[in-house]
Amino acid sequence: MVDTADKLKPLLWEPENLVRAIEAAGVTLWSWNVDTDALAMDDPAYDLWGIPRGIDVNFEDLSAHIHPADRDRVRAAFNATRAIIGPYEIDFRIMIGEELKWISARGQGDDAGIVKRVMFGIFLDVTGRKQAEEGRELLAGEMSHRVKNLLAIASGLTAITSRSTKTTSDMAHELTLRLMALGRAHDLVRPVAGQTEAASSLLGDLLTVLLAPYDDLGAFSGRIRVSVPRMRVGDAATNVMALVVHELATNSLKYGALSVDTGTLDVSCSAHDEAVTIVWTESGGPQVREPVGKRGYGSKLVERSVTGHLQGAINYNWSESGLVVTLRVAPERLAQ
């Protein structure tokens, strides 16, 4: 009796079925003549590189598509492949018009498997994996930065509360209330597990809750004023706005108007068809100067979030009277 698996083996090795398996795995094929530098590729490899099918190519032709920052590294790696013992793998970026892709080139070094001076290997499109890795790295960096900011905020809240209270019990009570307010601000923007409807919040509510922990940290309450039109902020934009406000408030508590008892903060907004403009104005604080040297992670994160997720723009004006930050974003991006 012939086993079913034995019956399937001939189908497995039929050339057209091997091609189907390769296509299903997203694998593209290449061969490289080590003497002439000529490359041969299958049709999916031509498509992957954005090159018309069937034309003669060599490594220099492919190099024109490699991201300039990776080009020398890839050229050196390919030239060294014959000296590598065992399999090798190199990941690099290519540009096809305005589109960026990540490619993984894999093969066998030390002339293993070389036939008539021709080496063989594969290309894989690993763009999805690389984007996921970059996302995880960004998330890890953001979480680390947020933890440091929260510690800085807690330290600032403790210092200011100690100056505005006379007894340890009063200090503990006031500090607890302020930390609870900060927690409510984070609850407002935290994703809700299992939520099916598109989440949104009012811009005024979002700003008010996020800034509430800082509002009574001076000689008088109400030193933070929020004046914005009634408009909704979508779930994705809410998280970005929370990040931006959190960063600005943290820096103000450290160095700006919120670092002194008499400092004030005004947050205003104007909305037009083409853009929503949010203006953050500090006054009454210490004299501020534009930072020099390398920007911190927080500044980079804010700019990346505003220009990337919101597709907007953020501008800093380091005036003598206080920092003024202007954020512009398209209304449709704010609603997402």
Residue 160: other Cβ atoms inside 10 A:
22
| Residues ≥6 apart with Cβ < 8 Å to 55 | none
In this structure, the dihedral spanned by the alpha carbons of residues 43, 47, 48 and 49, taken in order and rounded to 10 degrees, is 110
When the candidates are 3.10.580.10, 3.30.565.10, 3.40.50.150, 3.10.180.10, the CATH number that belongs to 139-334 is 3.30.565.10
Intervals of CATH 3.30.565.10 along the chain: 139-334
Whether residue 121 is predicted with pLDDT greater than 90 in this model: the reply is no
Intervals of CATH 3.30.450.20 along the chain: 4-125
Please give the CATH architecture assigned to the domain spanning 4-125.
2-Layer Sandwich (3.30)
Q: Hey, what amino acid is at 310? A: L
Average pLDDT over residues 82-102: 79
Mind listing the pLDDT tens digit for each residue in 32-90?
Answer: 887 787 888 888 888 888 888 888 888 778 888 888 888 888 877 777 666 666 677 88
Average pLDDT over residues 134-140: 76
Distance (Å, rounded) from C-alpha 263 to C-alpha 211?
14
Q: For position 71, what pLDDT does the model report?
A: 85
Alpha carbon of 329 to those of 175, 208, 240, 298, 336: distances in Å?
A: 35, 19, 12, 20, 12
Whether the model clears a pTM of 0.75, i.e. scores above it, the answer is: no
Mind listing the pLDDT tens digit for each residue in 193-234?
Answer: 444 444 457 888 888 887 887 776 555 567 889 888 888 887
**Pairing between strand 224-227 and 264-271?**
parallel
Distance (Å, rounded) from C-alpha 324 to C-alpha 315?
8
